[in-house]
């Protein structure tokens, strides 16, 4: 049997090696459902900032926030103020009261509670719950109730759903997330409360709990100095989506509309053809394919 031409074998191998550059990573989407997706978030692995990818995911056009206490629907993102808003299905509101285990953030997650978020713990024990202990010493593990929250408790307990429980207002405790402690965890079982409510605004209806905006606001930062990465800004100006490669170093990658990645942006280079600019990876791919077939036919 006649052996194969070594040049053909070599060139075929080269073509196979470079073929993945033609079908490289998935295209990062700019929306998930009706929510626009911008850095540092992404719609899948390789999209956005790798620090945020384990916590914010897009599945079946539903944007979800995950933590050790469960998975929560992201209702909106305020990119100007860097806050995401989530909804907890086990949270009590003016229209529905139900038991809950609480809510917590992973200690290493790149999030913190927004200043406008208020937690109201409902049906708490007034005799053994740690939140009612006097401050000082070991008793300061959990925050004291906010004395300014009495009006919030009173209004919440005026809701029909909560009033059915026939609970005294004294079993309601209001405090801000900044007091959750270093673990960022609100364990209702440990606090001896059966439910909680959270709100991120009153919608100019301070005395009408039915019109309040229920949910949890979480702040995020781009980095330690909270500076928007220059590489990402350049990538977005070229209609790309900021992402990262799958190497152990998770280095920056600009995901271009064709689904291929560059290390800079999507319009680097000066080659034009019929008014369309060739990208570096396009130019390189075309050259590889051209010379492969040229040499292949030359040696046949």
Residues 6+ apart with CB under 8 A from 107: 182, 183, 184
Task: Identify whether the C-beta of residue 224 lies closer than 8 Å to the C-beta of residue 51.
Answer: no
Query: Tell me, what DSSP letter sits at residue 182?
Result: T
What are the tens digits of pLDDT across the range 233-254? 999 999 999 999 888 888 999 9
pLDDT of residue 176: 66
pLDDT of residue 167: 78
Residue 35 included in any domain: no
Residue 260 included in any domain: no
Residue with tokens 């978030």: 41
Residue 43 included in any domain: no
Based on the number of CB atoms within 10 Å of its own CB, is 212 exposed (0-12), middle (13-18) or buried (19 or more)? buried
Q: What is the dihedral of CA 214, 73, 70, 159, to 10 degrees?
A: 20
Residue 52 included in any domain: no
Residue 59 included in any domain: no
Residue 72 included in any domain: yes
Where does the chain show beta strands of DSSP type E? Answer: 31-32, 35-36, 56-59, 62-67, 70-78, 83-87, 102-104, 111-113, 118-124, 173-175, 185-187, 193-201, 213-214, 216-220, 241-244, 252-255, 261-262, 272-273, 276-277
Q: Is the pTM of this model over 0.75?
A: yes
Residue 132 included in any domain: yes
Residues 6+ apart with CB under 8 A from 214: 87, 91, 93, 94, 197, 198, 199, 200
Q: How many domains does the chain have?
A: 1
Residue 143 included in any domain: yes
Low-confidence ranges of the chain (pLDDT < 50): 2-3, 8-25, 134-141, 269-290
Distance CA 112, CA 62 (A): 22
Q: Which residues pair with 213 in a beta bridge?
A: 201
Task: Identify whether the C-beta of residue 143 lies closer than 8 Å to the C-beta of residue 134.
Answer: no
Q: Which domain holds residue 114?
A: 68-220
Closest to 25 in 3D by CA, of 248, 247, 288, 246 = 246
């Amino acid at each position: 049997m006649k052996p194969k031409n070594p040049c053909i074998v070599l060139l075929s191998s080269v073509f196979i090696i470079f073929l993945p550059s033609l079908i490289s990573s998935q295209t990062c989407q700019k929306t998930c459902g009706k929510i626009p997706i911008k850095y540092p978030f992404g719609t899948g692995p390789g999209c956005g900032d790798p620090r945020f990818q384990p916590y914010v995911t897009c599945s079946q056009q539903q944007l979800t926030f995950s933590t050790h206490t469960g998975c929560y629907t992201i209702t909106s993102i305020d990119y100007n103020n860097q806050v995401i808003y989530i909804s907890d299905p086990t949270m009590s509101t003016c229209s529905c009261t139900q038991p809950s285990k609480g809510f917590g953030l992973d200690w290493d997650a790149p999030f913190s509670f927004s200043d406008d978020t208020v937690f109201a713990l409902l049906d708490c024990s007034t005799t053994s719950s740690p939140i009612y202990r006097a401050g000082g010493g070991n008793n300061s593990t959990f925050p004291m109730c906010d004395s300014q929250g009495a009006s919030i408790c009173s209004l919440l307990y005026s809701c029909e759903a909560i009033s059915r429980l026939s609970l005294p207002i004294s079993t309601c405790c209001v405090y801000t997330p900044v007091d959750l402690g270093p673990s960022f965890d609100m364990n209702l079982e440990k606090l001896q409360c059966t439910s909680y409510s959270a709100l991120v605004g009153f919608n100019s209806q301070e005395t009408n709990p039915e019109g309040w905006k229920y949910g949890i606001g979480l702040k995020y930062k781009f980095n330690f100095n909270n500076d928007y990465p220059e590489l990402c800004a350049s990538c977005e100006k070229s209609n790309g989506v900021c992402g990262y490669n799958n190497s152990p170093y998770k280095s920056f990658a600009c995901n271009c509309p064709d689904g291929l990645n560059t290390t800079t942006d999507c319009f680097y280079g000066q080659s034009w053809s019929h008014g369309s600019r060739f990208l570096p990876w396009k130019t390189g791919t075309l050259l590889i394919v051209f010379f492969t077939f040229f040499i292949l036919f030359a040696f046949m």
